[in-house]
Amino acid sequence: MACRISELVIDAADPDLLAGFWGNVLGYVELGREDDGSIEIGPPDAGFGGPQPTLVFSRTGDSRPAKLRLHIDVNAVDRDQDAELERLLALGARPADVGQTGAESWHVLADPEGNEFCLLRARLQPLG
């Protein structure tokens, strides 16, 4: 295995409402809030990088029906970010421009059908 899901980022008109709902559904707790209104929830004792992905509810005013409401963040588990980027591109991923500045520590990519996802910098331990 070369990657595993670390976070699921979900656009939300009301991050508090969705974080409360999904926290109750999954038994997750609030792990943090960002100045932009984003809220991260996850397993009570694991947090980011644990065996289960955390959920990040990111405030958006975008109501375009064509906008994907979910994207996946992945982290390499057996190589550095640059090597993993090369591997993902070879598999058919392509760079995606969502307005990033170039100073980010992650890469925004699109899968073969155009669904955006991010390759984060931190390397995680494989599960099990």
pLDDT at 105: 95
Structure confidence at residue 128 (pLDDT): 47
Q: Which of the pair, 94 or 61, is modelled with greater confidence?
A: 94
The pair of structure tokens assigned to 83 is 């090597």
State CA 38 to chain mean position distance: 12
CATH number of the domain bearing residue 52: 3.10.180.10
What integer is the mean pLDDT of 89-94?
90
Total count of domains within the chain: 1
pLDDT, tens digit (0-9, with 9 covering 90-100), for 59-81: 887 765 566 667 888 899 889 99
Could you tell me the pTM of the whole model? 0.65
Q: Is residue 127 part of a domain?
A: no
pLDDT, the chain, mean: 86
Alpha carbon 101 to its chain centroid, in Å, reads 18
The pLDDT value given to residue 30: 96
At 20-40, the pLDDT tens digits run 988 887 789 999 999 999 999
124 located within any domain: no
Residue 9: Cβ-neighbour burial (10 angstroms; 0-12, 13-18, 19+) = buried
- Domain with 94, as residue range(s), is 3-119
Q: Is residue 71 classed as helix, strand or coil in its secondary structure? A: strand
